[in-house]
Amino acid sequence: MSKFKVAIFTGNYNHIRDGVSLTLNRLVAFLLNNNAEVLVFGPTVEKPALEHAGTLVPVPSTKLPGRPEYRFSRSFPKSVREKLINFGPDIVHIATPDLLGFRALKWAKKNQKPVVASYHTHFSSYLKYYRLSLLEPLLWKYLKWFYKNCRHVYVPSPSMAEFLEENGIETDIRIWARGIELDLFNPSRRDDTWREKQGFRENDIVISFISRLVWEKNLKLYADVINRLQEKYPQIRALVVGDGPAGEGLRKMLPKAVFTGFLTGDELAKAYACSDIFFFPSDTETFGNVTLEAMASGLPCVVADATGSRSLVEHGENGFIVPVERSDKFYKFIEQLIINEAKRSGMALKSLEKARSYSWDTINNKLLKYYTEVLEAKSQ
């Protein structure tokens, strides 16, 4: 199709390095290489966590209460609106239904611009970690209204699509999965020297947790299960990769664990490949990028029964899916992998096979086709 313009509105693009920001940056880089112009609107900070792709128009923002590393967009000022008007987008893509997203939606409707949205954050599942579950009905009422005004809603997995439909989202929901850099994340990154530097012995079984260290990732459950396993199996070692506000608390719960802090690139790939089991009990994931990275690194994955994880882990094939409230079952399934090396190896191979079907170009090409469909419908 001919060149077109996309305006993307997001609550996170460069101030935090997480699944949302990395996914959107990859998308923007892909679009710029495929006959599109892109302008991104969102909050930022003086020292961003990553070098972003494309052009970012900063909007006024403030620290999120209780989570100061995140930013909350406060307004959509005239100076920012003028840049949007001068850009003249053909399509508006809203990645976060926050105040900025709401203002962007109103502007698009007023100016008859087609709107699409992507669902990155499983907002309703976060509420329980902040004792705000009473707000869930109100949240869903807002989300149903918001997404009703969008042509498409892009979700990372079929299970997430089903969940939104069950909660009354009636918009045309499309799958926009997540990809993996297979040249970076793969079993060949395993490095015995790296393991030794971390204090792991040859026969140790390393159970890793790799993510931001925030309580909604179910860190306490990870710590409880690891501590129970270590009481019976002295060769079990915990590897925690990441950083965040819950890091200090987790260190107290797991005094024998190896904490690497935040890793990227080759070091992150080594951390995955030098593990033996990936244990990710978070039930707030819309997809689970870290689980896919673990699979590509050749690891059996034991994960919480969450919408994203169900699309990646096949229970009994490349890992196990466990209800988040059943810590006893997490223990039981990980124990099976500890004592049965053949099962561990077999599941590792299955993980590797499944991960190979995810490539960023294939996935972002699908989104480009969705855009094309919306733009062609508008021109008719």
CB distance 171 to 94 below 8 Å: no
Beta carbons within 10 angstroms of residue 252's beta carbon: 8
What average pLDDT does range 142-146 have in this prediction? 95
Question: Can you tell me the distance from the alpha carbon of 229 to that of 1, in angstroms, rounded to the nearest whole number?
Answer: 56
pLDDT for the residue numbered 127: 46
Of 277-281, 337-341, 360-364, least confident by mean pLDDT is 360-364
Query: What number of helices (H) and strands (E) belong to the chain?
Result: 14, 15
Q: Which domain holds residue 104?
A: 4-179+359-379
Same domain, 109 and 228: no
Nearest to 16 by CA among 113, 93, 121: 121
CB within 8 Å of 85: residues ≥ 6 apart: none
- Whether 105 and 199 map to the same domain: the answer is no
Identify whether residues 364 and 349 lie together within a single domain. no
198 and 347 together in one domain: yes
Q: Are residues 126 and 226 in the same domain?
A: no
| pLDDT at 158 (0 to 100) | 85
C-alpha dihedral sign at 281, 287, 293, 295: positive
- 85: buried, middle or exposed (CB in 10 Å: 19+, 13-18, 0-12)? exposed
The lowest-confidence range among 11-25, 186-200, 219-233, 338-352 is 11-25
133 and 269 housed in the same domain: no
Q: Do 10 and 117 belong together in one domain?
A: yes
136 pLDDT tier (thresholds 50, 70, 90): confident
Q: In whole angstroms, how large is the CA radius of gyration of the chain?
A: 21
| pLDDT at residue number 253 | 98
A 10 A CB-CB count for 289 gives 22
Are 274 and 144 contained in the same domain?
Answer: no
- On whether both 115 and 202 belong to a single domain, the answer is no
Residues 103, 228: one domain?
no
pLDDT at 125: 53
Instruction: Report pLDDT for 122.
Output: 59
DSSP H or E segment with residue 304: strand 301-304
Q: How many domains does the chain have?
A: 2
- Residues 284-328 pLDDT 10s: 776 778 999 999 999 999 999 987 788 899 999 999 999 999 999
Same domain for 333 and 373, yes or no, is no
- What confidence tier does 72 reach under pLDDT thresholds 50, 70, 90? confident
Least confident of 65-79, 106-120, 137-151: 65-79
CATH of the domain at 24: 3.40.50.2000
* pTM: predicted TM-score of the whole model, two decimal places: 0.71
Q: Are residues 198 and 163 in the same domain?
A: no
Place of tokens 């994880």: 309
